[in-house]
Amino acid sequence: MSQQNQQTSNGSSQSTTADQPNDRNKVILETNPTTKPTLIRLAVVLLLTLGVVGYLQLNPEALGSPDITNTAALVVLLLGLVLTVRFLVRTIILVRTTYTVTNSRVEQEYELLFRTHSKGIRFDKLRSHELNQNRIQSILGYGTISMNRGLGPLRLENVDEPEAVYDTIRTCAKRVA
């Protein structure tokens, strides 16, 4: 689902071209976020919803009275429906999202319902950056790169091979600083 396209990886050659105005928007790295964790969550939600609703339907007296059990099943069903729609929309957005690192900025962009959503940070305006990976993210090989937290932040979520992307951002940020 994800692809990482390291178009330019030689740090020394980038540093010589970074100051040229024509090369300011030269793409160093372009990658798409992975949909793996969202699809796993979607599968878990569907399984749990069907499991709990099925159990409650097969045991009408589980919560005392059939009507109360049925109400509980409705709550689980509605919650499952909301989460399913949420994860489906999230998957569509992730599939259409591109993270781009150029000589001068990091950008996140996706198109949905004929609208383009774009957000970026210039390296000369970058004040902080961090890479976060919890245990599950480490096992599945993805992570979140956060920039300028609390200052109009940019979060690159579900980044596949996050160390490589983070290293590229750090290198570019150092060079501009």
Partner 1 sequence: MPVRGVGAILRGGFDAIFRPHKFVEFQTDSYGASRLGVIRQLGSLLGVYFVNLAAYAVPLTLAGIGVQSSQSAPENFARIAGSYGIDPVASWQLLTAFVQNSLFISIATAITLVTFHVGVLIVRDSQGIVQSMHTVVYTTSAYLVATFSAVWYLTNQAGVSGARQLIRNLQAAFVYAIIDALGAGVELPGGRPDSLGVTTISAEGQWILAILTLSLLYYLFSLYLGARINHRATRSNAAIAVVAVALSPVVYVTGSIIAYIIA
Interacting residue ranges for partner 1, rule: CB under 8 A: 64-65, 67-68, 70-71, 74-75, 78-79, 82, 85-86, 89, 150-152
What dihedral do alpha carbons 39, 41, 47, 48 form, nearest 10°? -170
Q: Which CB, 50 or 151, lies closer to partner 1?
A: 151
Residue 124 DSSP code: G
Alpha helices of the chain — where are they, by DSSP H? 11-17, 36-58, 66-96, 135-140, 162-176
Asked if 148 and 174 count as a contact pair (C-beta separation under 8 A), the reply is no
| 27 versus 136: smaller Cβ distance to partner 1 | 136
User: How far apart are CB 116 and partner 1 at their closest, in Å?
Assistant: 10
Tell me whether residue 17 or residue 70 sits nearer to partner 1 (CB atom).
70
CB of 92 to partner 1, least distance (A): 12
For residue 112, the minimal CB distance to partner 1 (Å) is 12
Measured distance CA(8)–CA(177) in Å, rounded: 20
